[in-house]
Structure 1
Amino acid sequence: MELRHLQHFVAVAEDQHFTRAAERLLVSQSGLSASIRALERELQTPLFVRTTRRVTLTPAGRALLGEAERVLAQVRAAHEAVAAVQGVLRGMLALGSEQCVAGVNVARLLAAFRREHPDVEICLRQAGSGALAEEIAGGRLDLAFAVRTAREDLEQLRAVPLTAEPMTLLCHPSHALARAGAAVTPEDLGGEVFVDFHPDWGPRRATDAVFAAAGVRRTVALEVNDVHSLLDLVDENLGVACVPRHFRHKRPALTALPVEGAGDTVYETVALLPAAQATSPAARALMALLESEGA
């Protein structure tokens, strides 16, 4: 099994299209097709279901994809480790991050990293914390800035604490809770309509944990996947939002109320990394820069 066959297979799986994958890999479409056929012959099973518009993975293809990604990540890490020993940091830094994650200014940190290591290609992916943890475990990301997730998400991963803060309720100034101006508890909010992120995002996970610990059901009627949409909906008095405390600075016109009765539940951000021996030189350099600059 040749590495180029695995590289070609992963590219087709990602693009779900032979022509687009061939263009990205800078190879001919016929050569790419021949490479996939050679891999299928070796494994004695089809890896893709081909149609005129797209290709999808077969069950065998899905089983191979994760292993292929891990193999390619290990090969890349080997090349980067050798380059680092020679005093040159190059290769790729594959980074993941949640939106508006606390404890790190991602853009500023990456700008500083690029100035120090111009030969390293930076790739950034934004997603929810659960997905980011899976990407690191699968070798598709070098590290991620995320919200501490459930213990089962962190098996075989390292979590370096960045910061922690309590949750805060945001509501429109005309809302009855805003007029009362007092701290609220989960029990006070059981009948409210909530604006929140999709279930994989860190703030949503933290809020769900607060209400689960209190045994209070809540109604999330408006689900969004970006901070500004959430703030816009609350600004129109379409619902309330339970968010990390630093969110209140993004829309000062909204009323921010402390949430009491959350117990030990906080919004805790971390840097997620693989085991030390599997951490890439680029990821180690980024973490060293974070620690030195307090970015």
Structure 2
Amino acid sequence: MTLEQLRIFAAVATQLNMTRASEMLLLSQSAVSAAISALERRHDVKLFDRVGRGIALTPAGAVFLAEAKDILNRAQQAERVLIDLSTLRRGAIQLVASQTVGNYWLPRQLMAFHTAHPEIDLSVEITNSDRVMEWITTGKAELGFIEAPVTIDGLEATQVGTDQMVLIGPRDLGPQIDRATLMRLPWVIREEGSGTRAMLLEFLAHYNLTLSDIRIALVLPSNEAIATAVSDGLGIALMSRLAAGFLGQSPQIAIRPSPQPDRALNMVLSTQRHRSSAVQAFVDQIKAAPDVALN
């Protein structure tokens, strides 16, 4: 049984006239008659009786008509869903982002997309860069944003912005940061897998240091927790300039520039998975926007 056969049966049952049904369906009368005959033969049931020069539904045909109409209505609804999805009148996007880009760069992009496409549901998970790449690879999320290079095959990265790193510490932190100071003061650092931790390794390498050369007081899972710890005098930390920006007016906190070059903020997509119309629209919006430094 096919949807086309159901459509033909419903038209004939409604019109109770083969000629009018065939005209309505833009089919030949023989094609309509053949579809009805095929249904009756396949299921060994009589759907229509000939009454005089016309036709009438049998009791079985009347029961079947209700079911056929219900199936056709559901098929129409399913088709409307596909149309809505393809034309952005309906849909959802699961995004995942690392902390800095997710908390400080992405919200403005989400608001712009929501304004343009209010019917698209946006869901965002904030985690670290390694997990972002894992989620995109496994299909748990469709679109990701990280402040680290892509290190997994099957992913493509597009730079969407830049960020700068700064060192934050107590207010008596001198204007010039030297190797001895970095070794003497306690550190508050991010967990493994975060883009900020990767940048810390680069920062230390600039001073010919490794993690084993510094005093690690705390390992914390978020920029906010690190900023609070530093504000409470528990040590120094390396973090995004934007993440540290709200501390700039605090008399307890000093912010010093890092010698590192700006780091790229990347949009991450799978090269092996289908992109929905909603995801493609979000990608197009991001690519159309100018490269914005986080400052």
Corresponding residue for residue 32 of structure 2: none
**In structure 1, what residue type is equivalent to 2:124?**
L
Aligned match of 2:228 = 232
Change (3 A) 1:112 1:258: closer
Counterpart AA for 1:167: M
Structure 1 gap segments, 5+ residues each? 1-78
Gap change, CA 1:124 and 1:132, over 3 Å in 2: same
Does the CA contact (< 8 Å) of 2:188 and 2:229 recur in 1?
Answer: yes
Query: Aligned to 1:158, what secondary structure does the other structure show?
Result: strand
**TM-score of the aligned structures, taking structure 2 as reference length:** 0.61
How much has 1:280 moved relative to structure 2? 2.9
**Which residue matches 1:122?**
122
* Letter aligned with residue 109 of structure 1: Q
In the alignment, the residues of structure 2 paired with residue 86 and residue 129 of structure 1 have an alpha-carbon distance, to the nearest angstrom, of 30
CA displacement at 1:138 relative to structure 2: 0.7
> Number of aligned pairs?
207
Task: Specify the alignment match of 1:268 in structure 2.
Answer: 264
Instruction: Quote the Cα distance in structure 2 between the aligned partners of 1:187 and 1:88.
Output: 57
Pairwise CA distance, 1:276:
7.5
Quote the Cα distance in structure 2 between the aligned partners of 1:198 and 1:146.
15
Give the aligned partner of residue 165 of structure 2.
167
Q: Matched residue of 1:204: which SS?
A: helix
How much has 1:121 moved relative to structure 2?
Answer: 2.1
> Within 2, Cα distance between the matches of 1:211 and 1:116?
44
Residue 130 of structure 1 and its aligned partner are, at CA, apart by 0.3
> 1:47-126 alignment to 2 at 5 Å?
83=83, 86-101=86-101, 105-126=105-126
- The corresponding residue for 1:256 is 255
Q: Any conservation in 1 of the 2:86–2:277 contact (CA below 8 Å)?
A: no
Letter in structure 1 aligned against 2:277:
P
Q: Quick check: 278-287 or 153-162, which moved more?
A: 278-287
Letter in 1 for 2:237: A
Counterpart AA for 1:233: A
Q: Distance in 2 between matches of 1:101 and 1:268?
A: 10
- Does the C-alpha gap of structure 1 residues 199 and 235 become closer, same or farther in structure 2, counting only changes over 3 Å? same
C-alpha contact (below 8 Å) 2:137/2:270 kept by paired residues: yes
Stretches of 4+ moved more than 6 A in 1? none
* 3-state SS of paired residue (2:100): coil
Matches of 1:80 and 1:132, distance apart in 2 = 33
Sequence identity (%): 18
User: Where do residues 113-262 of structure 1 align in structure 2 (5 Å cutoff)?
Assistant: 113-149=113-149, 151=150, 153-174=151-172, 178=173, 180-182=174-176, 184-185=177-178, 188-212=181-205, 214-216=208-210, 217-252=213-248, 253=250, 254-260=253-259, 262=260
TM-score when normalising by structure 1: 0.61
Give the direction of change, closer, same or farther, for the CA distance of 1:87–1:282 in structure 2 (3 Å limit): closer
CA 276–160 in structure 1, closer or farther in 2 if over 3 Å, else same: farther
Change (3 A) 1:164 1:105: closer
Deviation at 1:158, TM superposition (A): 0.9
Q: Say what the alpha-carbon RMSD is for the aligned residues.
A: 3.0
Contact 1:167 1:207 in 2 (8 A): no
Q: Deviation digits for residues 103-157 of structure 1, max 9, x if unmatched?
A: 97322322222232233222111110100000001111111111123x5x33111
String of CA shifts for 1:210-248, please: whole Å, max 9, x gaps. 325634332332122222221121112110011123333
Using the alignment, how far apart are the partners of 2:169 and 2:281 within structure 1? 41
* Secondary structure, aligned partner of 2:99: coil
Aligned AA for 1:200?
G
Q: Is the 8 A contact 2:154 2:272 kept in 1?
A: no
CA contact (8 A) 1:80 1:89 kept: no
Structure 2 residue ranges without an equivalent (≥5): 1-78
The letter of the residue matching 1:242 is L
Q: CA deviation at 1:197?
A: 1.8
CA offset digits 1:60-105 (Å, max 9, x no partner)? xxxxxxxxxxxxxxxxxxx999547853453220101122328973
- Alpha-carbon distance in structure 2 between the residues aligned to 1:84 and 1:218: 56
